[in-house]
Amino acid sequence: MENKIVVKGVNNSFKKNQVLKGVNLTVKSGSIYALLGANGSGKSTLLKIITGLHAMDSGEVFINDLEITHNPRRIRQTFSLNSQTTTTDEILTGFENLQLIAKLRHLPNTDEVADKLLAQFDLTEARDRRVATYSGGMQRRLDIAMSLVGEPEILFLDEPTTGLDPKSRNDLWAAILDLKQRGKTIFLTTQYLEEADQLADQIGFLQNGHIVATGTPAEMKQLGGHSRLQLIFPTTDAIESAQKILLDFNMSVGTDGSLLIDLTDGVTTSLKALTLLSNHDIPISSFQVLAPTLDDTFMQLIKEA
Ligand SMILES: Nc1ncnc2c1ncn2[C@@H]1O[C@H](COP(=O)(O)OP(=O)(O)OP(=O)(O)O)[C@@H](O)[C@H]1O
């Protein structure tokens, strides 16, 4: 797969505050890249630099192998930026909003373009309603539909689901995955670990001005630690006895009183622990293996900073 976006050594400061310190990243064509980072880590600044809205102090950004500062016009036609502020006109209907953008872009068949996008984002039923009557999720879908007028190859989404309820968030995730199926390359920023987990092919974790970790969601979860065996006991006596017997294991007590055993060597550790408890007749209510999550990685990376 060819590289669609390449960021090399990007630096940026606001007066004495150096926000980006040599950021490097690569986005493959037809993939979804999620830029994760805490509040104020510089996600929006980097997005603005890549899309040419903000000048960088030094570094290079290539889109389709063209350096952005030397080819701004040509590159601008290949992507669309969906920022957190809405671009829709609430007085107009969904159809009229899309039709207007299609006309501004001098597209032929503006009605057809508008109807196709309404269908793609599950808004056909609300076609002739004023946008003021749309729910937050519908407005966000229409916003993204507006970005797609003219079929850009690349879509930049700045925190696309912030403020949406779980159902609307799921609907939007489905729409974003559908765009990937249609061959679009998507670069999004998010603070939601679950969003990155659900959508991204690659995650970049921005911290202290650098991409400190990058990989697939599965690879990123591994950085957070090992799987853990969670043991739940019926009585406090059983917990105390188990703690004495399992002293040689890397163990911690969960907030709910369960015992958590770090599975350094996977299944073998689980079997050893369960066999020991069984041999000592310690009753267990239930047990399960907890896989590492992106939250573990996030906390681990923040701890290491
Ligand atoms: N125009 C500006 N002038 C001065 N400082 C700025 C400006 N824009 C951003 N900053 C600072 O740069 C840092 C990074 O901001 P940025 O908005 O890029 O972070 P972010 O990761 O997108 O945060 P959030 O998740 O809260 O949106 C912050 O310390 C912010 O205060």
In the chain, % of residues over pLDDT 70: 98
The reply to whether ligand 1 has any atom less than 6 angstroms from the CB of 12 is no
The reply to whether ligand 1 has any atom less than 6 angstroms from the CB of 42 is yes
Please write the tens of the pLDDT for every residue from 110-127. 999 999 999 988 999 999
The reply to whether ligand 1 has any atom less than 6 angstroms from the CB of 98 is no
- For residue 305, tell me if it sits in a domain: no
d(CA 243, CA 231) in angstroms, rounded, equals 11
d(CA 276, CA 262) in angstroms, rounded, equals 16
The pair of structure tokens assigned to 170 is 């799921």
The reply to whether ligand 1 has any atom less than 6 angstroms from the CB of 51 is no
Nearest to 80 by CA among 139, 22, 26, 160: 160
Q: For residue 203, what pLDDT is reported?
A: 95
Residue in 35, 45, 158 to alter for ligand 1 test, most ligand atoms within 8 A of Cβ: 45
What is the extent of the structural domain holding 73? 3-222
Q: Which atom of ligand 1 is nearest to the CA of 45?
A: 18
Please write the tens of the pLDDT for every residue from 195-206. 999 999 999 999
Q: Is the pLDDT confidence value at 1 over 70? A: no
Please write the tens of the pLDDT for every residue from 177-193. 988 999 999 999 988 88
The domain boundary residue, chosen from 222, 239, 272: 222
Please write the tens of the pLDDT for every residue from 49-76. 999 999 999 999 999 999 998 888 888 8
Query: CB burial class (10 A; 0-12, 13-18, 19+) of residue 268?
Result: exposed
- For residue 64, tell me if it sits in a domain: yes
ipTM, two decimals, is 0.96
Q: Are residues 95 and 214 in the same domain?
A: yes
298 alpha carbon to ligand 1 midpoint, in Å? Answer: 20
| φ, ψ (nearest 5 deg) of residue 226 | -90, 170
Q: For residue 37, what pLDDT is reported?
A: 87
Confidence of residue 266 (pLDDT cuts 50, 70, 90): low
- For residue 303, tell me if it sits in a domain: no
Q: Are residues 231 and 214 in the same domain?
A: no
Q: For residue 29, what pLDDT is reported?
A: 96
Positions of E strands within the chain: 3-14, 17-28, 32-36, 58-63, 66-67, 79-82, 154-158, 185-190, 202-207, 210-215, 228-232, 251-253, 259-262, 286-290
The domain boundary residue, chosen from 222, 249, 281: 222
Q: Are residues 277 and 146 in the same domain?
A: no
Nearest to 75 by CA among 88, 65, 84: 65
Total structural domains within the chain: 2
Q: Is the pLDDT confidence value at 302 over 90? A: no
Q: What is the pTM of this model?
A: 0.81
The reply to whether ligand 1 has any atom less than 6 angstroms from the CB of 190 is no
Query: Which residues does 192 contact at the CB level (< 8 Å), separation at least 6?
Result: 161
Residue with tokens 């501004």: 104
Strand, helix or coil for residue 103:
helix
What's the CATH number where 155 sits? 3.40.50.300
